[in-house]
Structure formats: C-alpha cells, structure tokens
C-alpha cells in the first residue's frame, strides 16, 4: 500500500537542492506580498522572509515580540502569492520550549513554507546573549521531528548569533554548529561573519551548507561563492532601504515641499501589471 506524498514534498526537495557550496542560493529577503512578488519577478529561485521586516510591517518590534499566529498568517499570504519555494524566518521558534517549536513548524508547513530559520539568540532582560547549546539543539531536534512527521523535508537553517551578539568567534561557532547539525539542522546561518578569512574557516569547518548575511561592505556573491558559501541572504536589508526612502521622501515633502526622493520610483503600470498576472 502506498500513501500520497505531502503536497509540499517536491517543493521542499527542490529548495534543498538549491543549497550548493560554491554556487550559493541568493535570497533578497521579503516581508510582505508586494516585496515577495517583486523578489520573485526579479528572478529569485526562492523567497525568504525577514522576521524584522515582517514584524515592522505588522506594527511590532523585532526580537521575539511578534505572536506566532500573526507571523505565520503573513507567511501563508507570501507562500500563496509566489510560485517559488518560501522559507520562513521564525526567530526563536515563537515558543517557550521545544514542544512549542514543533507546533510552530507544523504551522509553518500548513502555511506553505518549506524552510525555516531558527535562531539561538536570547532577548529576555538578564538572559545571556545565546541560548545554551543543549537547549537549542533540543529545539532544532523538535523542529526536525515535527517536519519529518508531516512528511516534508523541511530545510532547517540553524542561525548562530555568536558574531552578531559578540558572544564568540570561529571556535564557539563551529562547536555550536556541530551540535545543531547533529540535532537535525540542514544548514547553518552565521550573520555578522563577512570577513573572507572567517567565512572560509566556517565554510570548511561546518558539515552543512553555510548561509552568510551580506550587505554594503561585505564581499560580493561571487567572492562568497569562492569561499564555499552555499546561501547568501540580506536579512532586513531590503526592508531597511525601503523604509529609509519612505522616511526621506516624507521628510522632504513635509519640510521642503519638494519631491526629489520620489524620482526613481517604480513604474505604476509595470508594478500594477505584476499584481494582475494570474498565479
């Protein structure tokens, strides 16, 4: 007797196959339906959400402050709006314990996403910068088990905030990465590490695809590819750029009564046509 595969099974496998060291998956992170459609239209092979951009779009600060249902409602809208695979930044898992992370992953799959980022940073007052490695490994294992039980080869990207939070460098990052891969992580994300020598040590020392967060001043995608990176994303970078333009244009209009910041706006007809295409 055979059973039908989960509807997301093929899409999840296709997303996994995009993670190739030396030929990285490039992800301009989106935060709403419009940005997701624009990223897809630009030629992205997949759409990744940014938790910060998504939280701001919903009127909430980043840093484990957004409710799971609101976050995943937005992810569901994005997944329905594009044809390419979607991977969701779920911060720490929108849960207090490992069982809750498993619940979140089941909800992620129900929303139509085939990948997640799970970070190890802590934001509670008085807490250390990073969750203890054993506790974080348990949460990753719960995510893996929940996805496997659903029959979806979800790509679990374990984010390690050693560099971003100033909590350690290469050795500690490699130690945590090994534990997280053993727990079921498919990839390792190390935001804040862009120095070529550091990136090379991480790519060589981690037994999983390495994700680097890039931006102004970071090596180019081609340079990161040569270092062995398998995934390049920009986090909240696009959202920050868009919001900076909004603030600059609004201030110019209100203070000076001029409109120069609006000069390079998107063409109305082209943008409107993007949203009239049949999906």
Q: What are 183-234's pLDDT values in tens digits?
A: 999 999 999 999 999 999 999 999 999 999 999 999 999 999 999 999 999 9
Which helix or strand (DSSP H or E) is residue 33 part of?
helix 33-41
- SS3 of residue 25 by DSSP: strand
Q: Model-level pTM?
A: 0.96
Mean pLDDT in residue range 10-18: 98
Q: How many residues does the chain have?
A: 279
Calculate Rg over the CA atoms of the chain: 19
φ, ψ at 223 (rounded to 5°)? -70, -40
Q: What are 62-82's pLDDT values in tens digits?
A: 999 999 999 999 999 999 999
Cα–Cα distances in angstroms (integers) from residue 2 to residues 5, 150, in the given order: 9, 16
Domains, the chain: 9-235 (3.20.20.60)
Tokens 């967060």: give the residue. 213
**229: CB partners within 8 A, 6+ apart:** 21, 22, 24, 199, 203, 210, 211, 212
88-98 core/surface letters (b: 16 or more CB in 10 A; e: else) = bbbbbbbbeeb
Q: What is the pLDDT of residue 72?
A: 98
């Amino acid at each position: 007797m055979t059973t039908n595969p989960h509807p997301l099974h093929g899409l999840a496998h296709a997303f996994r196959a995009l993670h190739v060291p030396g030929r990285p998956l490039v992800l301009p992170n989106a935060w709403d339906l419009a940005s997701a459609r624009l990223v897809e239209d630009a030629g992205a092979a997949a759409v990744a959400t940014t938790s910060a951009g998504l939280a701001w779009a919903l009127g909430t600060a980043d840093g484990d402050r957004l409710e799971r249902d609101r976050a995943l409602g937005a992810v569901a809208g994005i997944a329905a709006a594009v044809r390419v695979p979607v991977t969701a930044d779920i911060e720490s898992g929108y849960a207090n314990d490992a069982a809750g992370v498993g619940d979140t992953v089941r909800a992620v799959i129900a929303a139509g996403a085939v990948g997640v980022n799970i970070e190890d940073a802590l934001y509670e007052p008085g807490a250390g910068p990073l969750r203890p490695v054993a506790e974080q490994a348990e949460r990753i294992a719960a995510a893996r088990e929940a996805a496997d039980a659903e029959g979806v080869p979800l790509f679990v990207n374990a984010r390690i905030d050693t560099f971003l939070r100033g909590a350690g460098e290469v050795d500690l990052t490699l130690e945590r990465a090994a534990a997280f891969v053993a727990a079921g992580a498919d990839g390792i994300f190390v935001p804040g590490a862009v120095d070529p020598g550091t990136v090379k040590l991480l790519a060589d020392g981690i037994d999983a695809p390495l994700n680097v967060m890039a931006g102004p001043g970071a090596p180019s995608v081609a340079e990161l590819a040569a270092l062995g990176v398998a995934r390049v994303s920009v986090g909240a970078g696009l959202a920050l750029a868009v919001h900076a333009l909004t603030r600059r244009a609004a201030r110019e209009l209100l203070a000076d009564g001029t409109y120069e910041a609006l000069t390079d706006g998107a063409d109305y007809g082209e943008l409107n046509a993007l949203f009239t295409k049949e999906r």
